[in-house]
Amino acid sequence: MVETEQNPKLLWEKCLRIFQDNVSPEQFQASFAFVELNKFENGKLVLDVPSDFVKNYLEENFLPLMGATFRRVFGENSIRALYYNVKVVKSKRGGEVKEKTEIPQPVTNGPARPDARKSPDVVTAPQVQDLDSQLNPHYRFENYIEGESNRLARSVGESIAANPAKTFNPLFVFGPSGCGKTHLINAIGHRAKELHPEKRVLYLSAHLFSVQYADAVLQNKANEFIQFYQSIDILILDDVQEFTGKTGTQNTFFHIFNHLQMNGKQIILSADRPPIAIQGLEDRLLTRFKWGMVAEIEKPTQNLRFDILTAKVEQEGLNISTSVLKYLSEHIDESVRDLEGIINSLMAYSVVYNCNINMGLVQKVIPRFVEKETRPITIDDVKQCVCDHFELNVNKLDSRARTQNVVYARQITMYLASTLTDKSLVQIGLSIGNRNHATVIHAIKLIKDAIGVDEQLRQDVEAIEGTLRRSRM
């Protein structure tokens, strides 16, 4: 039996112990460890959170766990709504501290979300005002940053949202993973719903469509399944390359596509490649995919990446310097998801370790997002690095000069070239003033013998080697 009259603070501590048992230590430290109970009264639970990031992280990742835990600890029907008190929000304009309260969805007593895996049925389908469009609430035109790589697709999308099935139908958007396809097609759905509230809008992935179709076949409800999708006014299907090799699913979607097209319904599709490059799809389906508008979204340019980062930082109320944002936009060039991911990681690190987001923190986090290409160290690399260290002209190494500082640098160059490159002794000698391999062997032996007893030599060699290795990281 739940002791609902206990001190709410003690109940909250019980909740924290349950959270800690059900998430990883890293997740707990990045989220629940910073949450405190503000108050619990009249069925309202108010939690103090340090930032919008923590609040959004909890909502997006742990809301079901939180709801189940609250019902278990506070009582099945004790909590009717959950509130957050975002205690500290750093404003980029002025840096003042503000307080605000945000009200998310209640954790209990809300309408049950339909089982997405279950085959939809037109007979039991909700009315248009009750139909869950499955659109991501965060993906809207208002926060879709425009650039050269997505301008055409965005313009076409806005036109379709304003006049569904009147301009381009179907719209087929393609591009590499993480370029913003899903954001765009969700934004079209949201705008269309705002401008045409009477229309039934539905977003889903091609994979989920396939799962639902298989479920319908098993339950002998394939006809009901088709009738449901034929009742949609704006059908948005993501990642249609997932239909590859699924003959039954393709055949069913072909009939749904034809019905929607003939009856003036809008179809919006996305994939990671253009229709002609999708293998394993029926020709009749590929032909229809190309009927309307095929719009490509390319990887974001550096300017667009910078604009996306700037918008994300302003949205989260962070204070990150322009130089840091420029550095990130230069080094993270694969996808928008990576850009958002590194900002989220920087925010988490900043909260957990109570530190500013600066270049030091960026250098610590960025290797998790960027897999840098490394090329082998060459003899020329070694020569240049040695000469930079000793402030010599590279030509001196190749010359016949016998001054002590030049000979010293030349011998270190030969030694490091033998340990850091895959070149033979003959090749090393030829690359350093056309010397023979016997000279190289002599230099390597001298350095090897002296490095253990000559502290200055050891420091010079380690410094040069460290510089060469860091240049390849």
Residue numbers of the domain that contains 427:
379-470
Question: What do you get for the CA distance between the two ends of the chain, in Å?
Answer: 58
Burial of 73 (0-12, 13-18, 19+ CB in 10 A): buried
- Residue 62 belongs to what H/E stretch? helix 52-74
Distance CA 144, CA 184 (A): 7
Alpha helices in 144-241 (DSSP H): 151-162, 181-195, 206-218, 222-230
DSSP secondary structure letter of residue 299: P
**How many structural domains does the chain have?**
4
Residue with tokens 């097209």: 261
- Residues 169, 57 within the same domain: no
Q: Which residues pair with 102 in a beta bridge?
A: 84
User: Closest Cα to residue 392, out of 380, 403, 404, 405?
Assistant: 405
**Residue that finishes a domain, picked among 368, 400, 417:** 368
pLDDT computed for residue 190 by the predictor: 94
pLDDT computed for residue 375 by the predictor: 67
pLDDT computed for residue 98 by the predictor: 36
pLDDT computed for residue 117 by the predictor: 53
How many residues comprise the chain?
473
Query: 36-41 and 44-49 as β-strands: parallel, antiparallel, unpaired?
Result: antiparallel
pLDDT band, residue 92 (cuts 50/70/90): very low
The pTM of the full predicted model, rounded to 2 decimals, is 0.53
| Domain assignment present for 125 | no
- Residues 187, 164 within the same domain: yes
CATH number at residue 150: 3.40.50.300
Mean pLDDT, the chain, as a whole number?
81
Distance CA 343, CA 324 (A): 11
Burial of 76 (0-12, 13-18, 19+ CB in 10 A): exposed
Q: What mean pLDDT comes out for the span 136-142?
A: 89
- Residues 211, 229 within the same domain: yes
Strand ranges of the sheet holding 81-90, from the earlier edge strand across to the other edge: 36-41, 44-49, 81-90, 97-102
| DSSP reduced 3-state for 40 | strand
| DSSP reduced 3-state for 215 | helix
Look at 122-126, 171-175, 281-285, 287-291 and tell me which has the smallest mean pLDDT: 122-126
- Residues 284, 340 within the same domain: no
Question: How would you classify residue 43: left for phi > 0, otherwise alpha for psi between -120 and 50, otherwise beta?
Answer: left
Mapping DSSP onto H, E and C, the string for 369-414 reads CCCCCCCCCCHHHHHHHHHHHHCCCHHHHHCCCCCHHHHHHHHHHH
Distance CA 342, CA 398 (A): 46
User: pLDDT for 250-263, tens place per residue?
Assistant: 999 999 999 999 99
pLDDT computed for residue 130 by the predictor: 54
Look at 32-36, 95-99, 184-188, 237-241 and tell me which has the smallest mean pLDDT: 95-99
Query: What CA–CA distances, in Å, run from 311 to 145, 182, 319, 325, 330?
Result: 8, 18, 12, 11, 16
- Residues 283, 161 within the same domain: yes
Look at 79-93, 318-332, 457-471 and tell me which has the smallest mean pLDDT: 79-93
CATH number at residue 360: 1.10.8
Distance CA 359, CA 323 (A): 9
**Residue that finishes a domain, picked among 274, 296, 318:** 296
- Residues 344, 290 within the same domain: no
Task: Find which of 285-294, 326-335, 336-345 is predicted with most confidence, using mean pLDDT.
Answer: 285-294
- Residues 290, 307 within the same domain: no
Q: Which residues pair with 201 in a beta bridge?
A: 234
User: pLDDT for 194-235, tens place per residue?
Assistant: 999 999 999 999 999 998 898 888 888 888 899 999 999 999
User: pLDDT for 334-388, tens place per residue?
Assistant: 667 777 777 777 777 777 767 777 777 777 777 666 555 456 889 999 999 999 9
- Residues 214, 336 within the same domain: no
pLDDT computed for residue 236 by the predictor: 95
List for the chain the helix, strand, coil content (%; round to 5): 55, 10, 35
pLDDT band, residue 189 (cuts 50/70/90): very high
Separation of CA 332 from chain center: 11
| Domain assignment present for 395 | yes
pLDDT computed for residue 415 by the predictor: 93
- Residues 225, 349 within the same domain: no
Look at 161-175, 311-325, 385-399 and tell me which has the smallest mean pLDDT: 311-325
pLDDT band, residue 312 (cuts 50/70/90): confident
**Residue that finishes a domain, picked among 368, 402, 424:** 368
Handedness of CA 90, 96, 97, 99 (dihedral sign): negative
User: pLDDT for 35-88, tens place per residue?
Assistant: 889 888 888 888 888 877 778 778 777 887 888 888 888 887 778 788 888 865
